[in-house]
Amino acid sequence: MADIGNHETVLVEDIELDKDNPRIRKFLEMYGDNITPEQFYLALGAAGDDESESSASFEKLKNSILTNGGIIQPVILNRRADGTLVCIEGNTRVALYTSFINEKVRGDWTRIPSLVYDHMPREQIDAIRLQIHLVGTRPWDPYSKAKYLHHLRTQEFLSFERIVEFSGGRKKEVVESINAFSDMEQYYRPVLSDDSEFDTRRFSGFVELQKPGIKEAILATGFTLTDFSQWIHDDKLSPLNTVRSLPRILRNQKAREVFVKQDAKAAMKVLDRPDLNKVLSEVGIGALAQALTQAIYALPWRDAERLRSEPASDTAQQLSEAASALAELMTLSESL
């Protein structure tokens, strides 16, 4: 039976970071003795070990600790035979507490909640790391996260700013997530014959529904969000990111008819668009971006004026779609 450890609040200055962890040692050697929390975090990331904070970036982790006034999950320490304490799990969190002390961040960062094991043998250390990093805590699926955000907003009445502070991410994502959950519950659940058909994997379709112009296109062409839910249920919008193409499909009468009879894929074929896969499949995203930039710079003034005066035209909509996709990509790359 393994030692279950004791919960203690331990002086941060008494904790040694686990610089000998074989998985990250080679990365830490590059930084010398004075390792910052960022370097530790980078080393853990570089070693493919994200310390169970999985998707949370370093900044998110830091902000979350600051917002909460401390960590929620204790770090795991091993008390060696000589009484010294080494951090087995939670090195980034310990390093952050140390940096908060050094930077005189408001609050008491001198002690950290810890689960302390005595004289832990190597095998047990490995077992703990394996359990945390290979088995790990099961991350919430996007629907469950949205459900919780919805609860925080509608039951706990937290402001968007507060929710973003707690959960990380961006305000726009929080709004979209809550609205997607709300729409799914309000429109999708009722179209199912029973609750066992409720497929949380369809959630991303409802997130797409929140993007600018989608709902408006559905409602403006005489459909309802119940229709949309039925389309999702009937797999007419598969893969779910084809929801983005709904405005163009629904505005085109022929494509709309094909969509209603068949699905979005068939409807897309009706739209007069080049076969991008054939023509551009060999071109990388960088070259495409360059080509688009050049095309924009070379755009005659009259065409630019037309785009401005006809925001609902196909070209304007395609550019708008590209602008949104590019903005999303840049946001993603900033957060990496």
Partner 1 sequence: MHLHLVGRIVSYVRAEYQAYQLAVFHDLPNLLGAEKPPRIGGFVPDVFAIDAPPSITILGEAKTVEDLETEHSREQLAAFLTFLRLQPSGILVVAVPWQAQARAKNLVAQLQRQLQCAGVRAIVITELAG
Query: Please, which residues have CB within 8 angstroms of residue 8's CB and are 6 or more apart in sequence?
Result: 114, 116
Does residue 270 bind partner 1 (CB under 8 A)?
Answer: no
Of 86-94, 104-112, 188-196, 314-322, the segment contacting partner 1 by CB under 8 A is: 314-322
Dist CA 290 CA 226 (whole Å): 41
Does residue 224 bind partner 1 (CB under 8 A)?
Answer: no
Of 45-53, 60-68, 209-217, 276-284, the segment contacting partner 1 by CB under 8 A is: 209-217
Q: Report CA torsion sign: 20, 24, 29, 34.
A: negative
Q: Using CB atoms within 10 A of its CB, is residue 163 exposed (0-12), middle (13-18) or buried (19+)?
A: buried
Provide the Cα torsion 114, 119, 120, 122; round to 10°: 130
Number of residues that bind partner 1 (CB under 8 A): 29
Dist CA 99 CA 118 (whole Å): 27
Whichever of 133 and 215 has its CB closer to partner 1, that residue is 215
Does residue 189 bind partner 1 (CB under 8 A)?
Answer: no
Could you tell me the two tokens for 329? 């990509």
Owner of token pair 């190597």: 122
Whichever of 7 and 189 has its CB closer to partner 1, that residue is 189
* Residue of 175, 192, 260, 266 interacting with partner 1 (CB under 8 A): 175
Helices (H), 138-224: 142-154, 160-167, 171-183, 189-191, 203-209, 214-220
Does residue 311 bind partner 1 (CB under 8 A)?
Answer: yes
- Shortest CA distance to 202 belongs to which of 148, 173, 242? 242
- List the beta strands (DSSP E) in the chain: 6-11, 15-16, 75-79, 85-89, 111-118
Does residue 333 bind partner 1 (CB under 8 A)?
Answer: no
* Residue of 60, 150, 251, 306 interacting with partner 1 (CB under 8 A): 150
Of 31-39, 134-142, 250-258, 305-313, the segment contacting partner 1 by CB under 8 A is: 305-313
Whichever of 252 and 317 has its CB closer to partner 1, that residue is 317
Does residue 316 bind partner 1 (CB under 8 A)?
Answer: yes
Does residue 169 bind partner 1 (CB under 8 A)?
Answer: no
Of 32-40, 72-80, 132-140, 178-186, the segment contacting partner 1 by CB under 8 A is: 178-186
The contact set with partner 1 (CB under 8 A) reads 150, 153-154, 157, 159-160, 170-172, 174-175, 178-179, 182, 212-213, 215-216, 219-220, 308-309, 311-312, 316-317, 320, 323-324
